[in-house]
Chains A and B, each alone.
Chain A
């Protein structure tokens, strides 16, 4: 097996009042992998992203990146460690142009990627002076992606990137995510409800249900895993 995973989520728990959003969850992502993180609504996927990016502090456990803990890094220092993300419910800067949104992405790591180049890459250069509010939801998600890429990250966290896409567009997104990984030498952690997408791009998949990790494996292993099928279809009668 690999000597050292790029990202190690180690026994992480996070509670909100009585809700256990993450219950001693562990998983890893190795350099160059596309790792799927799936699970029904409320399983704790977004919470995992928020713990990794330090927006939430875990009650227990540790998160390591390149072998060093992230827990001593403030949220604003995460991007400098090499981790960038997108948000499930688009968190764009509404009062700024598309270009300025992407420039903020390069705030802490200017010079890694030219914002204009990134916009060309994601095919948004022609709308760079527009307000993101004027763009369709799926395009807004692409602006967020460009903003994340502008920092030249090592690890990219994508929270439901297929939101607002049509069936054919989801297929294209799958190809795009792989190309992204290769062109930017990324490791990608992908949260997505669209199973077809996850199964076609992920090297490995981790499954959460009610805050607990219930399975891990290749896409084909996951698809035939009884615990996963039960979590998605509900308890058998």
Chain B
């Protein structure tokens, strides 16, 4: 037990050091890419609390990211009573608003399970983009809303991309630590208990409704923070900035990262970024295979490739990247890992 704690603390420290040192070695553009990976990472931490720990699925987390992004846009562009709020301060507010929305979704989710929950949450993902269109003078409709470009505060001498990188990963580390504290204690045990056996959890005194709803709220908070950061980095929101497929990507990233492995999720976040932006590269690689002759310019080919890659990845990594790491360092960790 002690050694596991030690392992996790040193892992966290290593990650923090790597995050701090990395910008010295990479281009400004890469820093921007990594910042966006960090945003997906934040959303995935939240989703892993929901799915990995409480056992509830959500195919609608893109909508919670969108709520966070739009909250930031409205607060920093429209402002409150004409008083515009600095982008930095909108981040926690965006998280809270998305979290409240998550609590609202969590209540009906109590009555649903498995496939039905997946369908309902996907319904949320599909219908959310209609909101900005319906309230277009407030939310900007399809044209969207333009935010001020992200600026380092206090006259810090760094580029906007580097600033976004540090901001995102700073928040990611704090939220990772918070998630870690949450799941290693009583709350995490209660959530896992619900996931593994609802009757035994209830008979042990775990209030199912409270914890399941709480898990939805917390995970939506994380998604909201991620969406807020994305809006700031992008300096622009419209319904296409948070496409429906984003919700699916997030679940895929979670599956790849491993449901319970908080650090493995970084790999999942990286994959989301890569596939979302480079599906055509993958298509070109696959074209090198002699038997195939696909034209990546053809409509639908990138998403088809995406689907195939997904299936392969899921087959290869049933336990996610965290599981593979665990297998590699098996002698050290399997003793403490409770899922075989």
Contact = CB atoms under 8 A, between A and B. Distances in A.
Contact of A55 (B186, B202, B260, B335): B202
Given A55-B199, A104-B193, A79 B340 contact: no
Interface in B176-220: 186, 189-190, 192-193, 195-197, 199-208
Nearest to B52: A95
Among A77, A95, A109, A131, the most chain B Cβ lie within 10 Å of the Cβ of A95
Interface string B57-101: 000000000000000000000000000000000000000000000
Given A76-B206, A78-B203, A104-B189, A93 B197 contact: yes
Contacts of B338: 95-97, 100, 130-131
B204 A79 contact: yes
A76 B199 CA distance: 9
Contacts of A134: 340
A93 B340 contact: no
A72 B269 CA distance: 46
B1 interface: yes
Contact of A95 (B1, B204, B339): B339
Interface in A46-72: 53, 55
B274 interface: no
Contact of B206 (A91, A92, A100, A108): A108
Interface string A115-154: 0000000000000011101100000000000010001000
B336 interface: yes
Contacts, number: 89
Contacts of A105: 204
A84 B203 contact: yes
A163 interface: no
B196 A95 contact: yes
A27 interface: no
A104 B204 contact: yes
B203 A75 contact: yes
A127 to B, nearest CB: 12
A131 B340 contact: yes
B200 A93 contact: yes
Contacts of B190: 104, 107
Central interface residue in B201, B202, B336, by most chain A CB within 10 Å: B202
Contacts of A107: 186, 189-190, 193, 204-206
A91 B197 contact: yes
A133 B197 CA distance: 14
B31 to A, nearest CB: 37
B200 A92 contact: yes
A210 interface: no
B116 to A, nearest CB: 21
A58 B152 CA distance: 64
A26 interface: no
A204 B208 CA distance: 36
B200 A151 contact: no
A93 B205 contact: no
Nearest to A80: B205
Contact of A93 (B1, B196, B202, B207): B196
A91 B200 CA distance: 6
B339 A103 contact: no
A94 interface: yes
Contacts of A94: 196-197, 339
A55 B200 CA distance: 10
A150 B204 CA distance: 9
Contacts of B204: 79, 104-105, 107-108, 147, 151
A100 B189 contact: yes
A151 B205 contact: yes
A39 B340 CA distance: 38
A95 B202 contact: no
A95 B260 contact: yes
A130 B334 CA distance: 10
Contacts of B199: 55, 75, 87, 91
Given A76-B206, A95-B192, A131-B340, 18 more contacts: A53-B203, A74-B207, A79-B203, A79-B205, A87-B199, A87-B200, A91-B200, A93-B193, A93-B200, A100-B338, A103-B189, A104-B189, A107-B205, A108-B205, A129-B335, A131-B339, A133-B340, A151-B205
9 contacts: A74-B202, A95-B196, A103-B186, A104-B190, A108-B205, A108-B206, A147-B200, A147-B204, A151-B204
- 5 interchain residue pairs of minimum CB distance: A108-B205, A91-B200, A93-B196, A79-B205, A75-B202
